[in-house]
Homo-oligomer: A and B are copies of this chain.
Amino acid sequence: MKQKKYNISVEATLEVIGGKWKCVILCHLTHGKKRTSELKRLMPNITQKMLTQQLRELEEDGIINRIIYNQVPPKVEYELSDYGRSLQGILDSLCAWGEIHIERVYGDKSEVLEESILNE
């Protein structure tokens, strides 16, 4: 546990949910438990490696739980932990702001949001 020094508390938040994928993963998990393959399908552009890597880090930080079913082929589910759920409000706001921003910039969100997510 290296003693980092932060100049402002938001830096600590960014260490946990920063980067290209973590917020996206977490936003999906706000809608409930998800299997690895479901997450992969929801994020067509993420690579297997990045998905696993980000999930590991979120688990290490206590944000998500990893649920392993003893089956073949393997089944693993991820869900927000209790602690992770303390981010729910932020995640919801981030998604909501994104929608507002898309409408502001592009007018019609259906032009920039993949259909797959429009009807969900």
Residues of B within 8 A of A86 (CB): 97, 100
Q: Is A117 an interface residue (CB 8 A)?
A: yes
Stretch at the interface among A5-13, A50-58, A69-77: A5-13
| Chain A residues touching B, range | 35 or more
Once the chains are docked, how many angstroms separate the CA of A111 from the CA of B87?
24
**Is B91 in contact with A90, judged by CB distance below 8 angstroms?**
no
Nearest opposing residue in chain B for A91, CB measure: B10
Are the C-beta atoms of A7 and B44 separated by less than 8 Å?
Answer: yes
Residues of A in contact with B (beta carbons under 8 Å apart): 1, 3-14, 16, 18, 20, 23-24, 27-28, 42-45, 83, 86-87, 89-91, 93-102, 104-106, 109, 111-114, 116-117
